[in-house]
Amino acid sequence: MQETHLTLQKRRAAVLVSAVLITAVYWFVALWYTNKGAYSKDLVVFHWLFTSGNQWLDLWQYVYQFAVTVLLFWLVPYLITRYYLREDFTKLGLTLPYNKQALQICAVAYAVVIASTYFSSQDPLIASEYPLSKLIGSSWAVFVAYQSVYLFYFVAYEIFFRGYLQFGLKSANAGTKELVLIILIQTLLTTAFHIGKPSPEIISAAAFGPVFGYVAFRFNSIWYGMVIHFVMNIFIDLFSLHWLHLLPQKFF
């Protein structure tokens, strides 16, 4: 029993400290930007590494951001879990057990999410932020390609915050108080992660953090929440382009 307790404490310390450090490094490498009031922002580290005047540079900087997300939020936690903690990474909510109730909730959530994004995307602050690069309105092919790459960002994001962090802090026989505390920690970190984003998005992060956290624990999987999160952002991009009159006019 004592060894199990020590193992749990080691895991919690490793997960919590690494989560804070990784988030800080990520902010510097992939979220630090200039031209904060501009239509399209410039990621500082990306433009330091790549100074070409390519017309697609604004789009490529976000591909870079998504790649960094996969590296820091997916690969690094995997290495820590596998080689330092010597535990099964898939047990951090990464399996997908079939659950009829979860699917029903997702079906309802899609309708709610689509309706809510239709209205929230009309906010000038949201429309100026999303899509991250307005170049995805160049064609439907670019839009689809961008969203396909964007998917990896959301997979890595959910693995990190709702998987590695949440399940990494959870004990085998966690009670309600422990689960609530863990979800609170996750929500605080995900909300802090959104600092610098439009105020409506920061409020949404604080509101949806507990919801996605609960869904992950309730169904023992991050994937149901991840799909809802991803669908939400697809429609934010789509509706924002619509209100900005920048929807693609051609396929290629």
Per-residue pLDDT in tens (0 to 9) along the chain, 252 residues: 445 777 899 999 999 999 999 999 999 999 888 865 555 678 889 988 887 777 898 899 999 999 999 999 999 999 999 999 999 999 999 999 888 988 898 888 888 888 989 999 999 989 888 999 999 999 999 999 999 999 999 999 999 999 999 999 999 889 999 999 999 999 999 999 998 888 889 999 999 999 999 999 999 999 999 999 999 999 999 999 999 999 999 999
Q: How far apart are CA 244 and CA 82, in angstroms?
A: 46
Query: Using one digit for the tens of pLDDT, what is the confidence trace for 99-123?
Result: 898 889 888 888 888 898 999 999 9
Q: Is residue 14 within 8 Å of residue 32, measured between CB atoms? A: no
- SS3 at position 178: helix
Question: Long-range contact list for 226-231, CB < 8 A, 24+ apart?
Answer: 226/154, 226/155, 226/158, 226/162, 227/106, 228/106, 228/109, 228/110, 228/113, 229/154, 229/157, 229/158, 230/150, 230/151, 230/154, 231/110, 231/113, 231/114
pLDDT digits (tens, 9 = 90+) for 1-32: 445 777 899 999 999 999 999 999 999 999 88
CA 119, CA 37: separation in Å to the nearest integer?
A: 23
Amino acid symbol at 240: S
Contact between residue 40 and residue 55 where contact means Cβ atoms under 8 Å apart: no
CA angle 141, 53, 197 (to 5 degrees): 70
Asked whether 98 and 226 are in contact (CB, 8 A), the reply is no
The model's pTM: 0.93
